[in-house]
Chains A and B, each alone.
Chain A
Amino acid sequence: MKTFKLGGVHPPENKISKQAAIQELPVPETVSIPISQHLGVPANPVVKKGDTVKTGQLIAKGEAFISANIHASVSGTVQKVDNVPDTSGYRRKAIIIKTEGDQWEEGIDQSKDLIKECGLSAEEIVKKINEKGIVGMGGATFPSHVKLMVPQGGKAEYLIINGVECEPYLTSDHRLMLEKAEEILTGIRIQMKALHVEKAIIGIENNKPDAIAHIRKLLPDYPGVSVQPLEVKYPQGAEKQLIKALINREVPSGKLPIEVGCVVHNVGTAYAVYEAVQKNKPLIERVVTITGKSLKQPSNFLTRIGTPVSTLIEAAGGMPEDTGKVVNGGPMMGKALSNLESPVTKGTSGVLLFSKQESHRKVVHNCIRCSRCTGICPMGLEPYLLALLADHHRYEDCEDNHIMDCMECGSCLYICPSGRPLLDHIRNGKAETGKMIRSRSQ
């Protein structure tokens, strides 16, 4: 069974919600749609207070090269365009819409009919994906159209589709692969056309044998697409690790996948591409896993962007008594929420509730130099050393020891038997080292 070689950990999978079919969450009373839900420059609002909008209408325009359009996820009246606390707790600009009915924009195909044929050219496809505000749905939220425009001198050979879902607990991609496989495969064919590649590989960890079997059965209709089962290991869903696992190529330090002829997209993104290109539908909803050991009904909800997290929790049976922490995303890389009114955004793959007991970190002991962090670091770094250097503000040494290669997967903090806050120090170190490097080039 294929997997990446260097490092990796095996946190308990806890995929509690994998049997729960995707349910449509009722349209919430109000939505709060941040103008920055993607990597890159925030979009510029094109609506103002008092405007009426329809579902799917453009409300903020991504004008920079790396940016993305944002659309209304409900129909109703714009209440305000204001700074509100976002997922990370900072106040950032968002468009708040009060829902009235569910009136969709003209030209969006709301039917469930599968449309396999796509007559558009590569340029038209990329344009459409740009227009509809599609971003990476795995969590990194990089604007998808940018990835589909191969830079000068680069050549894409493979389209890699990430169906790994290596984060414990999360099941939104799993359910999507089971319930929307044909749409995903069509989306993949469309992306292949846009990239002019002949080969696409879907990587799926073998803890999802039903998804692997289901997609395999459909493959004959989709030439060039193949499925590769992978051994379960975190963080296989990181794009560099996934490329290594699937085709044994290593993306050089500091470079992008296109360097080794690859473009990586999530299965959720492939589905969003299908909807944008074939159904003319902007990215206004996504599948969100809501889960936790004490939650009544762990579920997978098709949720409108901007829905408050509290609405999701209510829909899943309400907040359990002993809840101590609510995480936006998976347990390894997700952000702990300070405010349950913060909205679901394009990158929200799950909401995870931990009990009070699970919410506490371990007591911190001395480093016993067990070398586990060094052994499991998927980037081959020395987390114990980087944490120490960062703690001592030795940022030049941090740079020399390649702190910027760290992708913050959290494996080091997970594995440390002494409960040391390795990644906390490394995060600080990365921020400061990054500042130092940028100031040098000015």
Chain B
Amino acid sequence: MSLLTVSGSPHVYTDQSVSKIMYGVLLSLIPAALVSFYFFGVAAILVTLTAVVSCMFFEFIMQKYLIKGPVTIFDGSAIITGVLLAFIVPANLPLWMVVIGSLVAIGMGKMTFGGLGKNIFNPALVGRVFLMISFPVEMNIYPKPTAFSTQLTDIVSGPTPLAVVKEGVAQGEKVPDMLPQVPEYVNMLMGNLGGSIGEVSAIAIILGGIYMLMRKIITWEIPTAFIGSVFIFAGILWMIDPLTYVDPFFHLVTGGLMIGAIYMATDMVTSPMSRWGMIVYGVGCGFLTIVIRIFGAYPEGVAFAILIMNAFVPLINRGFTPKRFGEEVKNG
């Protein structure tokens, strides 16, 4: 008779795996991808492909020749970093900048810490912030959405709604006078507004989020706390002075809030482990987003807010441990 395997219990294992989770995330990004390709056309496809291929390429080089460990470029995580990085840059960004962003995302954001699972900061956001600081001009020209655009040059561009409002307030204009300059909310909800490739359609991103929730890839805490606190903090300011502060709905449908709250802040590697930790982290992200959007130098604050909160995750994990069974007993 052949030998028997002897191992500790349990003897059954879930069929979930790291790559199943990663490919689940990619699947959920399809609606957002379709909307962006519709509005930003071939340019968006090119940027996305470039980012994905460069992220996989750089991860391969680093794993094979620098770390000399196993190569895991098909586990899906490098592909996600590529797609997410592409989705938060303008569609007309020169492709060589996309390559540099990918190098920074994978290199500085992920591999320096030891690869998947070890990084402190969300790699795609590290890449984006690096590009934003290095190439402020190119990173601030957003093409205007055009259906089925095949144009690659001479694209009509303009500021994002967030930039319009920020600029206007700085000039002393009143919010109600500025709103006609931005698309209607329903249009913005669908994604018909200036912005990064994949962040524009709140609806498409929410659809992806619902899919991830159903597959239990993410949980409700972080997106709810993040979006909810943006709404509440923006709402408080708006109620104080509706002429200086734009209404909270505007904050929900513009910029990178949805993609940030649903895809970036929920990155499992860089977010807290316990339910209350996640809520605190989500509220922190929301609070910082509003502070930066309204009082900071940049029109958009989602990326910085998440990166700052990423740094607090180890502290949050120690401060907010899960409620234990039999810890505080209330027996009636």
Flag whether B153 is at the interface (Cβ < 8 A). Answer: no
B10 interfacial by beta-carbon distance below 8 Å: yes
A195 lies within 8 A of chain B by Cβ: no
Inter-subunit contact A410/B9 (CB<8 Å): yes
Q: Mask for A332-374, Cβ within 8 A of B = 1, else 0?
A: 1111111010000000000010101011111001111111001
Contacts of B270 in A (CB 8 A): 369
Q: Which residue of A lies closest to B77 (CB)?
A: A368
Q: Which of A218-243 contact B (CB under 8 A)?
A: 240
* Distance of A375 Cα from B217 Cα, bound (Å): 13
Contacts of B271 in A (CB 8 A): 369
- The smallest C-beta distance from B289 to any residue of chain A, in angstroms, reads 23
Chain A residues closer than 8 Å to B321, beta-carbon distance? 382, 401
Set B5, B268, B273, B325: member contacting A379, Cβ < 8 A: B325
Q: Which of A1-28 contact B (CB under 8 A)?
A: 6, 9, 11-12
Distance (Å) between the CB of B271 and the closest chain A CB? 8
A424 to B8, CA, bound (A): 7
Q: Are B322 and A377 in contact (CB-based, < 8 A)?
A: yes
Expressed in whole angstroms, the Cα–Cα distance for A13 and B210 within the complex equals 28
B274 at the interface (CB under 8 A from A): yes
Residues of A within 8 A of B330 (CB): 250
Q: Is the beta-carbon distance between A408 and B14 smaller than 8 angstroms?
A: no
The interface centre, meaning the residue of B1, B269, B322 with most chain A CB atoms within 10 A of its CB, is: B322
* Given contact pairs A337-B4, A410-B9, A417-B21, A253 touches B14 in the complex (Cβ within 8 A): no
Q: Does residue A319 face the partner (Cβ distance < 8 Å to B)?
A: yes
CB distance from A116 to the nearest CB of B (A): 34
Interface residues on A, range: 35 or more
Confirm or deny: A147 has a beta carbon within 8 angstroms of a beta carbon on chain B: no
A249, B332: Cα distance in complex, Å: 8
Cβ contact of A362, chosen from B6, B13, B274, cutoff 8 A: B13
- The digit string for B188-214, where 1 denotes a CB below 8 A from any CB of A, is 000000000000000000000000000
A residues in contact with B14, CB < 8 Å: 9, 11, 414-417
Q: Is B16 an interface residue (CB 8 A)?
A: yes
Q: How far is the CA of A424 from the CA of B11 in the complex (A)?
A: 12
Contact with B along A235-265 (1 / 0, CB 8 A): 0000010001000111111010000100000
Q: Let me know if A379 and B324 touch, CB within 8 A.
A: yes
| Distance between Cα atoms of A9 and B323 in the complex (Å) | 18
- Give the CA-CA distance A248 to B325 in the complex, in Å: 12
Interface residues of A in 387-437 (CB under 8 A from B): 401-402, 405, 408, 410-411, 413-419, 421, 423-424, 427
Can you add 5 more A-B contacts, CB < 8 Å, to A6-B325, A168-B12, A244-B325?
A: A250-B325, A365-B18, A375-B275, A421-B8, A423-B8
Interface, chain B (partner A; CB < 8 A): 1, 4-14, 16-18, 20-21, 75, 114-118, 219, 268-275, 321-327, 329-332
Jot down 5 A-B pairs with beta carbons below 8 A, ordered by A: A251-B326, A334-B11, A410-B9, A413-B10, A418-B18
